Amino acid sequence: MKQSTPSEESRVYWSNVEFIYQTGSNQHGIFEGGVVYAFVRAFDVRDAIRKIEHELDTRNLGVRSFDFVTEYGELPWEDEEDQLHFDGVAALAGSTGEVFLDSFEVYERR
């Protein structure tokens, strides 16, 4: 019987993360926070959350909430450009094992 490697057992997960700027971030005190799509290869949802939290922490960002964390699968996007973009980001996350953060949407300080 062939043993599977960790990459064969892991899947690409994605999440919509609401974040805040922590002390040490260049935007701390200027902007409150924002939202960002995160893509990562992980073994399960808990592993994905842990990796995303770690990546954000290295950027002096804190997680306010996860809107969702789910496997990235055959998700139909509204237009072909978005489909190609997000499928490509998911493929990069799957092949490298790194956390990929898409474009940040930022909101002003309250």
Tokens of 82: 């978005």
The pTM score is 0.86
pLDDT 10s digits, 41-73:
999 999 999 999 999 999 999 999 999 999 998
- Report the alpha-carbon angle 57-63-65, nearest 5: 165
pLDDT 10s digits, 95-108:
999 999 998 999 87
- Report the alpha-carbon angle 65-37-35, nearest 5: 50
Q: Confidence class of residue 7 from pLDDT cuts 50, 70 and 90?
A: low
What's the whole-number mean pLDDT along residues 67-80? 90
